[in-house]
Structure 1
Amino acid sequence: MILTFLHAIESILTIIVMFMTGWLLTHVGWLDEKTSLIFSKIIVNVSFPCYMLWNLMSNFDKAKLQELSGGLVIPITSIVLSYVISVLVSNLLKVDPRRKGVFRCIFFTSNTIFIGLPVNLSLFGAESTPYVLIYYIANTCFFWTLGNYEISKDGDEGRETGKFSLSTLKRIFNPALAGFVVAVILIFLDIRLPRFVMDSCKYIGELTTPLAMFFIGIVLHSTPLKKLRFDRDLVVLLLARFILCPVVVIGLELLIPIPPLMAKVFVIQAAMPAVTSTGVIAKQYGADYEFATIATVVTTIASMIVIPIYMVLI
């Protein structure tokens, strides 16, 4: 049990080491605010679309995608329900309009691949991978569509346009989603890309996590200490990430019978911290990226306490 716990925590410590490296590089003057803007553009428009293409086409074929698609019911339903709750809670609490979308996005989506995958592998072994990827597909779709749209409304342009428009469609159908759609189409058409294309997508895609972590380090360095505190919104997000969302999944699993291992993986996936790219997206749209970054860091560190609890319960 102790060894498994240590393996699960290692993935979180890796994330912490990376964003602290970004903080240190900013402190010595190698990185700055202008660099963070460049990083956010690279992640959203280049590295993550490549990552999506490589990841899906490396892990799925047509038969496997069709076989696992039935397991999407619980992840999709739980994320939709969590989103509805996030809207109700954010309106009830009258969350600041400049961070309302960020609040909702962190509330209903989780870090299912960069932390979720290694944690599940440590807890349940390689046989958990297909179920991790099922939740990852649902979570990623919602993050880059609904989550991306909610965050975009926090920015000046989003608040001005307000209603659904052509600008809204452009924000929803972003490069990351395009990478996902292209990958799914190629898989169903049984088209395999040349090895050099896949390798290129892999290497470019692997820039996503370190660049996102360096971005977090830059923002943390430039954020005044008085902002690094537990306010009401952050406390609610901690409760949502680690209690409410997993409970929603457990409730659905009581109604919809699924294999025991799949059920355990879905609960763990729902209890993961905020997606590391949340602050990057917020920066892109001129939203409250400082709050997004702080929430990402705090939920990531808090997961070191939460994961052992779920290990015991599960």
Structure 2
Amino acid sequence: MLHAYLNIFAIFALMFLGYWLSFKQWFSNQTAEAFSKLVLNLALPFNMFLTITSNFSKEQFLHLFSGMIIPIISMSLTFFLSLLYRKIWPTKSGRGGTFTTMFTCSNTIFIGLPINLAIFGEEAVPFVLLYYIVNTTFFWTIGIYEIARDNPEFQQAKVSFHPLVVLKKVFSPALLGFLIGICWMMGAMPVPDFIRTFGGYLANLTTPLSMFVIGIIVYFSGLKNLKINRDVLGVLFGRYLFSPLIVWVLGQFITVPPMMLAVFIIQSSMPVQNAVTILTRAYHADEEFAASSLGYSVLLYMFYVPLLLKLIL
């Protein structure tokens, strides 16, 4: 347990380094964008490919997909719970859809992957990706629709999404790396040494660059600009109480490997998705609310995750 805590502390030390280097003007918002592209388009795909081809057999992997039912059901229940929450404690006008999306969707890659790697090692990566597939699909379909509805000038009938745009977001380079890794593993083909070495260097960039991105985002959001209110507290309850609790309850009825359930619980309790602040700006929703929810969820997670590990490990 102490080893896991020390690994997590190292992860957050990288985030604080990203924050400090932003303060020193080494990093800018453009740096965060470049690092995000590096992670999502190069480092993460190789990470997924090498993990699958190195750690799993065909039989082991086929057994994994039976567990995907838990994130599907849990995210659906969390979504409807957010709507019920809004009925009981109505959110401020113009932020209801953003509230629902942040209540339901978590940061499964930029924080979720490094934290799970720190706790469980490479064996957790396929479980991380199973949750990521469901989370990303929900976020770029229902989630973005909910955010768009917060724009007072948007009529519901006018909100539409091109199928190719949605497919591009869901079938990201990370997921494609995962799928290629599955095909490679199913075919029992050896990975050439050059690809393993070259890909390994890129894969090792995933954690430090991801946490630098979070540190940069927190810095440029401005700590003094983060405002706590009832709606932000509702988002935090959704992220850190209701979402993981639903996953845990489902795990008592649906039998999955213990590590898979633990990873799903951790993934379900991650901070708010990075992209929410960008989307609220694009759709003229409540960007300040989104930035405050993201900032507080990231900062509080440092104190929350040790308690969560104490309960589930």
TM-score by length of 2: 0.75
Deviations 1:228-282 (A, max 9, x none): 24333432233223321232123223333456x458625743564337xx32685
Bigger shift: residues 278-287 or 248-257: 278-287
Counterpart Cα distance in 2 of 1:195 and 1:181: 20
Q: 2:274 aligns with which of 272, 275, 279?
A: 279
Distance 2:107 2:209 in 1: 23
Corresponding residue to 1:213 among 211, 214, 219: 211
Q: Indicate yes or no: 2:127 matched with 1:135.
A: yes
Q: Do 2:7 and 2:119's aligned partners in 1 also have CA atoms closer than 8 Å?
A: yes
- State the partner residue of 1:269: 266
The CA distance in 2 between the partners of 1:25 and 1:228, in whole Å, is 20
**Distance change (3 Å), C-alpha of 1:279 and 1:267:** closer
Q: How many matched pairs?
A: 296
2:113 match: 113
User: What 5-or-longer segments of structure 2 have no aligned partner?
Assistant: none
How far did 1:285 drift?
9.1
Give 1:33's aligned residue: 29
The corresponding residue for 1:255 is 253
Q: Which residue of 2 aligns with 1:64?
A: 60
CA distance in 1, matches of 2:293, 2:45: 21
Tell whether 2:202 aligns with 1:204: yes
Counterpart Cα distance in 1 of 2:82 and 2:225: 23
1:125 counterpart residue number:
none
Q: Distance in 1 between matches of 2:10 and 2:125?
A: 21
Q: In the alignment, what sits opposite 1:96?
A: 95
* Per-residue deviation, residues 87-125 of structure 1 (Å, max 9, x unmatched): 66578636627945751554595854321343357xxxx
CA shift in 2, pair 1:148/1:209, >3 Å: farther
Q: Secondary structure of the equivalent of 1:193?
A: coil
Q: Secondary structure at the match of 1:115?
A: helix
Identity %: 24
How far the C-alpha of 1:151 sits from its partner, in A, is 6.2
Q: Distance in 1 between matches of 2:202 and 2:268?
A: 29
For the aligned residues, what is the CA RMSD? 3.7
- 2:14 match: 18
Q: Does the 8 Å contact 1:104/1:150 carry over to 2? A: no
What is the CA–CA distance in structure 1 between the aligned matches of 2:277 and 2:45, rounded to whole Å? 18
1:147-162 map, 5 Å: 147-149=139-141, 154=147, 162=159
User: Are positions 1:144 and 2:121 aligned together?
Assistant: no
How far apart in 1 are the matches of 2:44 and 2:277? 16
Alpha-carbon separation, structure 2, partners of 1:120 and 1:208: 16
Q: Which moved more, 1:73-82 or 1:147-156?
A: 147-156
State the one-letter code of the partner of 1:24: W
Structure 2 CA distance for aligned equivalents of residues 242 and 24 of structure 1: 27
Q: How many Å apart are 1:65 and its aligned residue?
A: 0.5
1:177–1:104 Cα change, 3 Å: farther
Which deviates the most, 108-117 or 233-242?
108-117
Counterpart contact for 2:47–2:199, Cα < 8 Å = yes
Q: Tell whether 2:34 aligns with 1:54.
A: no
Greater shift in the superposed pair: 178-187 or 72-81? 72-81
Q: Structure 1: 5+ residue runs without aligned partners? A: 122-128
Q: Provide the C-alpha distance between the structure 1 equivalents of 2:185 and 2:276, rounded to a whole number of angstroms.
A: 28
Task: Check 1:225–1:163 CA distance in 2 against 1; reply closer, same or farther (3 A cut).
Answer: same
- Are the aligned partners of 2:228 and 2:292 in contact in 1 as well (CA < 8 Å)? no
Alignment check: 8 A CA contact 1:105 1:150 kept = no
Flag the 1:51–1:309 CA change in 2: closer, same or farther, 3 A. closer
How far 1:18 moved relative to its partner? Answer: 0.7
Matched residues in 2 for 1:232 and 1:139: separation? 28
> C-alpha distance in 2, partners of 1:84/1:172?
22
4+ long deviations beyond 4 Å: 86-92, 97-102, 107-112, 148-156, 158-161, 280-289
Tell whether the 8 Å contact from 2:49 to 2:181 is kept in structure 1 after alignment. Answer: yes
Give 1:294's aligned amino acid.
Answer: G
TM-score (norm 1): 0.75
